[in-house]
């Protein structure tokens, strides 16, 4: 674990209740800090992006819908079940909750899912209409996915999925791709943004940072060749 926390970023002995109820305060604070960092990097303009972390007992802590991710309060981190149903009365979870739930349902080792709307992710996917993937080759920073990459000498496919406002339909299109291991470092939604995940909030954040670096670099590289 990146910071010595238990799986999912929760240290049971250090749990304090947040204003939202049973989301551990420390975990809510971690998601708030991750939102602030994503905002500082320009990855969550307006109210875009959403952040989540796994809780014990088939529950997920996730940002509520429509708030600016750079100005999150711990009370904006609410609880849903694995099907995406809100467990925090009166609070609407992220519109994209289902995309987070699908990752947690597939892989028990995943503790956090992050989604941002950066310029590189949006521009590059729009510049590649009809393309099913961006192939990232030869980059040292691919080793940020140390569970699947141990050398720069690889080619990793980053799938591009056409955007859709219908989340069940979008999740259904993503499901086979995820199940078949065709999104080993995350995926991008065309004209929309990035989804990445990791063992805890910090691990997911490092991977988001690595992927943002890769996409920005890929845009620069394509200008030079």
Ligand X SMILES: CSC[C@@H](O)[C@@H](O)C(=O)COP(=O)(O)O
Binding-site positions: 115, 117
Q: Which of 22, 36, 48, 75 binds ligand X (CB under 6 A)?
A: 48
User: Binding segment for ligand X among 60-68, 98-106, 173-181, 195-203 (CB under 6 A)?
Assistant: 60-68
The total of other beta-carbon atoms located within 10 Å of residue 95's CB is 12
For ligand X, the closer of residues 63 and 74 by Cβ is: 63
Closest among 217, 200, 224 to 52, alpha carbons compared: 200
Query: Residue 9 corresponds to which tokens in the numbers above?
Result: 């970023």
Give dist(CA 133, CA 155) in Å, integer: 12
Q: Judged by CB under 6 A, does residue 126 bind ligand X? A: no
How many CA atoms, within 13 angstroms, populate the side-chain half-sphere of residue 123? 12
Q: Judged by CB under 6 A, does residue 122 bind ligand X? A: no
Cβ of residue 67: shortest distance to ligand X, in angstroms? 6
Cβ of residue 220: shortest distance to ligand X, in angstroms? 25
Cβ proximity of 36 and 72 under 8 Å: yes
> Where is the binding site for Zn(2+), in residues?
115, 117
Q: Which of 21, 56, 66, 168 binds ligand X (CB under 6 A)?
A: 66
Q: Judged by CB under 6 A, does residue 209 bind ligand X? A: no
Give dist(CA 37, CA 70) in Å, integer: 7
Q: Judged by CB under 6 A, does residue 49 bind ligand X? A: yes
Q: Judged by CB under 6 A, does residue 75 bind ligand X? A: no
Q: Judged by CB under 6 A, does residue 96 bind ligand X? A: yes
Cβ of residue 12: shortest distance to ligand X, in angstroms? 28
Cβ proximity of 192 and 163 under 8 Å: yes
Q: Judged by CB under 6 A, does residue 94 bind ligand X? A: yes
Cβ proximity of 212 and 121 under 8 Å: yes
List CB contacts of 28: < 8 A, sequence separation 6 or more: 18, 20, 61, 74, 77
For ligand X, the closer of residues 22 and 47 by Cβ is: 47
Cβ of residue 39: shortest distance to ligand X, in angstroms? 13
Q: Which of 50, 52, 122, 125 binds ligand X (CB under 6 A)?
A: 50
Q: At 16, phi and psi to the nearest 5?
A: -125, 150
User: Binding segment for ligand X among 2-10, 88-96, 167-175, 177-185 (CB under 6 A)?
Assistant: 88-96
For ligand X, the closer of residues 46 and 225 by Cβ is: 46
Beta-bridge mates of residue 197: 113
């Amino acid at each position: 674990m990146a910071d010595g926390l238990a799986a999912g970023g929760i240290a049971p002995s250090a749990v304090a209740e947040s204003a939202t109820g049973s989301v551990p305060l420390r975990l809510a604070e971690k998601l708030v800090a991750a939102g602030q960092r994503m905002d500082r990097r320009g990855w969550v303009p307006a109210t875009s992006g959403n952040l989540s972390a796994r809780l014990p007992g088939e529950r997920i802590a996730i940002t509520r819908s429509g708030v600016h991710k750079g100005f999150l309060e711990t009370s904006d981190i609410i609880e849903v079940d694995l099907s995406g149903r809100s467990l925090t009365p009166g609070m609407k979870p992220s519109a994209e909750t289902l995309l987070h739930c699908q990752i947690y349902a597939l892989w028990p080792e995943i503790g956090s899912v992050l989604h941002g709307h950066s310029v590189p992710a949006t521009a590059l996917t729009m510049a590649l209409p009809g393309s099913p993937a961006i192939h990232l080759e030869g980059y040292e920073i691919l080793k940020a996915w140390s569970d699947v990459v141990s050398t720069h000498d690889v080619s990793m496919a980053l799938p591009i999925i056409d955007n859709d406002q219908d989340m069940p339909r979008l999740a259904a299109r993503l499901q086979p791709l995820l199940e078949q291991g065709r999104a080993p470092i995350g995926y991008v939604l065309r004209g929309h943004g990035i989804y990445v995940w990791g063992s805890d909030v910090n691990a997911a954040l490092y991977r988001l940072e690595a992927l943002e670096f890769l996409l920005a670099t890929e845009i620069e590289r394509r200008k030079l060749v």
